[in-house]
Amino acid sequence: MYVAIEGPIGVGKTTLARLLAEALGAEPLLEVVEENPFLPLFYQDRKRYAFKAQVFFLLSRYRQLARLKERPLFGGVVADYLFDKDALFASLTLEGAEWDLYLELYRELSPRLPAPDLTLYLRAPVPVLLERIRKRGRPFEAGIDPAYLEALSEAYERHFARYPHPLLVLEADQLDYSQEGPDRERVVALVKAHLSLGV
Ligand SMILES: Nc1ncnc2c1ncn2[C@@H]1O[C@H](COP(=O)(O)OP(=O)(O)OP(=O)(O)O)[C@@H](O)[C@H]1O
Ligand SMILES: Nc1nc(=O)c2ncn([C@H]3C[C@H](O)[C@@H](CO)O3)c2[nH]1
């Protein structure tokens, strides 16, 4: 069982991945954002650091997900990202020759990775994303541009409108699974139902 969680910045992917992994007896597969040395620089000067930040993400995501094919998944895995997110961000941050080169790399790597059995797409309006980003308090995200979040959210909408694998869309602003309460049980039950139905 391989479950992946996607959605825009701050929507609650990691929080849900931890919760679901525990509830399903699976292993959480979490991206370590702090490992990317180019990310804080990217937020200071997007044009200059976009390519470096993106190639670092591409390679580290590829390496982490390629391991899923190499070893048996006893209890399954719940990942807090999809490989697809890499090209989705790149389509907004790169252009010209850098975009062309990036796309060659992406197209070479992407077909080698397994597709999730179930993908959860978390959606929330931009003001909710901004509030969750503020609450989490990563320093380099402090001045994040709402227009960037809007463009990302639209790119996610377009991506999942024609996504060819089993998908469950959740309105993440209506579900607070970040604390104890009925929303936690609700979301776990929904995911279990989708996994056993194989939809
Ligand atoms: N359903 C929720 N309701 C309310 N707050 C939430 C919810 N999910 C997550 N949060 C809070 O929002 C913040 C961001 O959550 P989280 O780090 O899980 O987001 P993310 O989607 O993994 O972010 P990123 O895209 O940056 O990796 C955290 O402070 C978390 O506690
Ligand atoms: N440029 C760029 N490309 C990516 O593929 C990418 N994936 C995530 N991020 C940023 C968003 C959050 O600040 C933080 C955590 O998601 O990292 C990215 N930034």
How far, in Å, is the centroid of ligand 1 from the Cα of 132?
Answer: 6
Range of the domain at 50: 2-197
ipTM over the 0.95 cut-off:
yes
How far, in Å, is the centroid of ligand 1 from the Cα of 70?
Answer: 30
Residue with the two structure tokens 């996994």:
195
Mean pLDDT, contiguous 10-residue spans, the chain (199 residues): 97 98 96 95 97 98 92 84 98 98 98 96 98 96 97 98 97 95 95 81
Provide the pLDDT for residue 196: 84
Provide the pLDDT for residue 5: 98
Provide the pLDDT for residue 184: 96
Residues with CB under 6 A from ligand 1: 9-15, 80, 132, 135-136, 172, 175-178
| Ligand nearest to the backbone CA of 178 | 1
Closest residue to atom 23 of ligand 1, CA basis? 10
Q: What is the DSSP string of 72-121?
A: --SS-EEES--THHHHHHHHHH--HHHHHHHHHHHHHHGGGSPPPSEEEE
Q: What pTM was computed for the model?
A: 0.96
Closest residue to atom 12 of ligand 2, CA basis? 9
Structurally, the chain folds into a number of domains equal to 1
Beta strands in the chain (DSSP E): 2-6, 27-29, 77-79, 118-123, 167-171
Rounded CA-CA distance 120/91 in Å is: 22
Quote the crossing angle between the two packed helices 13-24 and 182-197, to the nearest 10°. Answer: 70
Is 45 considered catalytic here?
no
How far, in Å, is the centroid of ligand 2 from the Cα of 45?
Answer: 14
Provide the pLDDT for residue 70: 79
SS3 30: coil
| Ligand nearest to the backbone CA of 187 | 1
Provide the pLDDT for residue 72: 65
Which CATH number does the domain housing residue 141 bear? 3.40.50.300
How far, in Å, is the centroid of ligand 1 from the Cα of 113?
Answer: 26
